[in-house]
Structures are given as C-alpha cells and as structure tokens.
Structure 1
Amino acid sequence: MNKLLLLFLCVCLVGCSSTSTTTVPTTIQENEQEQIKPRDLHVVALGDSLTKGVGDGKGGYVTFIKQYLEQREDVNKVFVQNFGKRGLRSEQLTDVIMNNESVIRKADVILITIGGNDVMKVVRSHFLSLTYELFVKEQQMFASRLDEQLQLLRYMNPDAYIVLSGLYNPFSSAFPNIPEMDEIIHMWNEGSKKVISRYDRALFVPIDDLFEERDDILYDDQFHPNTRGYELIAQRMYEHLQKHEEWIGE
C-alpha cells in the first residue's frame, strides 16, 4: 500500500514539473514578440534646398533616411512629409512650421536643414565689402531665430526627435575672394550646436568634413550635393540618430 502511494506521488510530481516548464517559455516568447513588434513612423522634413533634394532628383537625403528606417526590424512603415523649399532662409522657416502644425504634432522625427541661404544673403548683399564681422552678426540673428523655432517645435510636439544638419562649405570655389569661409562655416555650426544643445531629444549633426576636397559629391552647380553627397549626409544623420535609441519611442 505504501509503495503504491509513493508511486502515485511521484507521477503527480512529474506531471506538475512538466506542466510548469512548458508554460513559462511560451510566456517569455510572447513577451519578446510584443517587444519587437514593428511600428509606423512619421517623419517631417523642414528646410531649404537640401531638404528639397535639389541636385539629386530622387528626394535627397530624406529619401535615403526613409530607406534606412524601413530596414529596421522595429519599424513597419515610414510616412514622410517633406516641406523643403529651395532658397528658404531661417527668417522664413517659422511660417513653414506654423502652416504645418497639424502634421508636426504627429511627427516622431523632425529633420531640418537651414542656414546656407542666410550665408548666401550676406555674400550677395555685401559682395564688394565683405568682412568677417558681417557673418558674425548674421549668425547671431540666425541663432536667435533658430532658438525660437525650436521652442515652437517643442510646444507643438514635446516628444519628436529633432535632427538639425550643420552647414558644409561649397563657397570656396565660388567665392575665392573670401579665404575665411571655412572659419565662417565653423563659427556658424558651433553657434547652431550650442543652441540645439539646450533641448532634450535634439541632435546637431556635423557634415562639413564630408565635403572637404570632395568636388565629386557635388552637383553640376558645384553648390548642392549630388546623389552620393546626399547619401553621405543621410548616413551621417542616421548614425547620430542611432546613438540615441530612445527616439524610436514606445
């Protein structure tokens, strides 16, 4: 009688043990599947001809970033709204932001290129009397506007990751009478970097080094990037974005 009882208890214990080991892995697997469930992303691109993609014809760096995002396992579809406009200066960017508030509020990532036409404005307005001080003055006004625009974007969308591209220097070949242009671009980028560092979930991405002595990645106008140039910009921006994985959100 005791032997039969002992055998019955052993069978019960084995049955309980096998049940517990088969249900736990299933639960873990379900949780893992939930964690990597891909999501849709909404990207808004703001700015000048670089955002427009002038010189490429395929959408510029914005198209490349869309491709990179869609290759991720945690991303399903990427919806892009590109409001890039050729010739846009920083003083005009606020209106673009205000006119597209409803779209900006839904954005997960906001990409910005701005400033190149502000530099060109100084060159064209003072071509025969250019001084370094003129660029410093214009950059200070640019930085003030940029700060206000970032505040506006944050008011509209507290959570989106903002990625601001720096300037590169295509001006040297076009304006050889301005030998300080590299220094001017560096000064401009440092000012932009300082402004954006005040904001959470915001990145400044330097790209000036990509174009140093690289006429082969410029378009025929020797000012805008060509397809390869835009691809390099997109790679740099995406590399910086990947260092801050919290941008992907919940």
Structure 2
Amino acid sequence: MFSTRFLWRTVGLAAFLSTLICVFGFVYAINQIMYPKLAANNNLTIPGEVVKPKESPFASKDKIQIVALGDSLTAGTGDLSGRGYVGQTKEKLEQQLGKPVYILNNFAIPGFRTYDVLKDMDAKKDIGASLSQADLILLTIGGNDLFEGGQGVLSTTGDEGFNPKGAEERMPEALQRLEQILDRVAKQNPTAIIAYVGLYHPFLDMDPKREGILTVQKWNTAAFEIAHRYPNIVVVPTSDLFELNLGKYLYTDHFHPNQDGYERIAERIVQIVK
C-alpha cells in the first residue's frame, strides 16, 4: 500500500515538474521573440537599426572627370543625339551625385580594334596624360575584333546565318591585347575607376542556334577574369540588355546601339560605379 502511494506521488511530482519546465520554456521562447538580445557577433544587424550605406567612391570629390577610349560604341555611333553612352553617363552621374561631371577627353575612334588602341596609346602621349587625370575611365573594345564591324561574320554557304567560327579563331589573340590595354590603363591611373563595357551579340536574330551567345560569353568571362586582377577595374555586362530587344535597342545598321540602347548601357554603368 505504502509503495503504491509513494509511486503515485513520485509520478505526480514528476508530471508537475515537467509541466513547470514546459511553461518556463514557452515563456522564455516568447520573450526571446518579442525582446531579442543583441547577438555576441557585433557584425550582426539589430532589427530596426539603420545601416549606413557604403560611401560612393566619388563622394569626396568636388568634380568628376571622365576619359573614354575605344571603338565606335564609345564614340557613340548610332546615337543621333550625339551623346552615346559616355555623354549619357555624364548626365546621369551629375543628376545622381549632384556635382559637376566633365568629359575630359574621348579618344574613341570608330572601327578600332584592340591593336589600334595599343598603337594609339603609344603614338599619342596626351592619352596617358589624360588617363592620369581621370576619376572615371570608360572603355569599349573587342567587338570589331570578333565581329569585324559586321563584315565576315555571316556564313559563306549562302544561308545568311551567323557563323561564329571566325570570331572564335580571332578571340585568343584579341584577348591577349585586351589584357595589355587594361594593364596599361590600370597602371597609368591606379586610383580611377575603370569601367570596361562588355560585349553583346548584335546578330542574334540571324543566329537560330544561338552559337554566338556562347562566343560572346567566353569573351566576357575572360574579360571578368582579367579585370579581377585589378582592384579598380569593373566589367559592365551588356549582353542581357540587348538579348531580347535587338530591334528596340539597335541602330539601323544592325550593329551599334541606338539612343535608347546607349541609355541602357549608361544606366548600368552608373549603377555599378556611383
């Protein structure tokens, strides 16, 4: 009799203690949810805390000077307003930063390939002098190396389709020259932001197998790998801007952007560098 009564008391006490533990755990959990404590890691953000945004690289400057070089895209071919992506980048930076932005020099020449830029940098001493004064350096090059300005990229079999073979064959040497260009520009001005504008595929509508997309992707991936070696070089992707809207954003020559196409490039540049 005694052992049975003792057993029931023991069971009852255990049940009572278990209930207390459950209630305490429930109250503690609710308290942690409603009133969370600061985590030991000071890098974590407290809910409701205002995180100070990263300061713009141009924040300490009274004015911003742009120097541009490269091919017809940097020259603005296809933009009937004459501004191109360089002029539109200037305007957008002025609006968003609230300070004067100047185009110190634009050395771009339509038709230039990678070897032309290298020769020009050797021949014209003012290019180096201008680069050294820049806060932002804009560059497009490589499209004419791969696509030959729109010449020689179509199939020779008469089906009018895009033939990526020639572009693939020209790519290795052109990438070596691109590396030389970026290295020289970065050494000329190690503090300026250097924005290399990546390539897009202007003949996608004549490329039903979409082989040219892979060619352009290989080029852009290699450009990213080169740029990654330099802390002040960024690659500005553009392929996605045109892929689904060739007719809307290309000029009538089917190669260069039109005014709206250049604006999209300028918007992407400003998003990255401001």
Asked if 1 retains the 8 angstrom alpha-carbon contact of 2:250 and 2:256, the reply is: yes
Asked if 2 retains the 8 angstrom alpha-carbon contact of 1:39 and 1:74, the reply is: no
Residue 223 of structure 1: how far off its partner (Å): 1.6
* TM-score, length-scaled by structure 1: 0.74
> How has the CA–CA distance of structure 1 residues 145 and 36 changed in structure 2, closer, same or farther, with 3 Å as cutoff?
closer
Asked if 2 retains the 8 angstrom alpha-carbon contact of 1:90 and 1:115, the reply is: yes
Does residue 155 in structure 1 map to residue 187 in structure 2?
Answer: yes
Asked if 1 retains the 8 angstrom alpha-carbon contact of 2:62 and 2:99, the reply is: yes
Q: Give the equivalent residue in structure 2 for 1:164.
A: 196
Residue 128 of structure 1: how far off its partner (Å): 2.9
Pick from 216, 225, 232 the counterpart of residue 257 of structure 2.
225
Deviation by residue 1:14-37 (Cα, 9 ceiling, x = unmatched):
xxxxxxxxxxxxxxxxxxxxx977
Asked if 2 retains the 8 angstrom alpha-carbon contact of 1:110 and 1:161, the reply is: yes
Residue 181 of structure 1: how far off its partner (Å): 0.9
- Structure 2: which amino acid aligns with 1:142? A
- Structure 1: which amino acid aligns with 2:88? F
Q: Give the equivalent residue in structure 2 for 1:69.
A: 93
Q: Give the equivalent residue in structure 1 for 2:235.
A: 204
Residue 228 of structure 1: how far off its partner (Å): 0.6
Asked if 2 retains the 8 angstrom alpha-carbon contact of 1:38 and 1:74, the reply is: no
Residue 86 of structure 1: how far off its partner (Å): 0.9
Deviation by residue 1:153-196 (Cα, 9 ceiling, x = unmatched):
122212111000111111133x4487411111111111111111
Q: Give the equivalent residue in structure 1 for 2:102.
A: 78
Deviation by residue 1:86-117 (Cα, 9 ceiling, x = unmatched):
11111111123331111111111110111110
Asked if 1 retains the 8 angstrom alpha-carbon contact of 2:147 and 2:167, the reply is: no
Does residue 113 in structure 1 map to residue 137 in structure 2?
Answer: no
Helix, strand or coil for the counterpart of 2:263?
A: helix
Q: Could you tell me how far apart the structure 2 residues matched to 1:37 and 1:181 are?
A: 43
Does residue 93 in structure 1 map to residue 117 in structure 2?
Answer: yes
- Structure 1: which amino acid aligns with 2:266? A
> How has the CA–CA distance of structure 1 residues 187 and 38 changed in structure 2, closer, same or farther, with 3 Å as cutoff?
closer
Asked if 2 retains the 8 angstrom alpha-carbon contact of 1:70 and 1:78, the reply is: no
> How has the CA–CA distance of structure 1 residues 107 and 50 changed in structure 2, closer, same or farther, with 3 Å as cutoff?
same
Aligned-residue Cα RMSD (Å) equals: 2.5
- Structure 1: which amino acid aligns with 2:203? F
Asked if 2 retains the 8 angstrom alpha-carbon contact of 1:38 and 1:76, the reply is: no
Q: Could you tell me how far apart the structure 2 residues matched to 1:36 and 1:240 are?
A: 15
Q: Give the equivalent residue in structure 1 for 2:152.
A: 124
User: What does 1:2-41 correspond to in 2, within 5 Å?
Assistant: 39-41=62-64
Counting matched residue pairs gives 207
Asked if 1 retains the 8 angstrom alpha-carbon contact of 2:198 and 2:237, the reply is: yes
Q: Could you tell me how far apart the structure 1 residues matched to 2:176 and 2:202 are?
A: 24
Where structure 1 has 5 or more consecutive residues not aligned to the other structure, the ranges are 1-34, 243-250
Where structure 2 has 5 or more consecutive residues not aligned to the other structure, the ranges are 1-57
Q: Could you tell me how far apart the structure 1 residues matched to 2:59 and 2:186 are?
A: 28
Asked if 2 retains the 8 angstrom alpha-carbon contact of 1:43 and 1:78, the reply is: yes
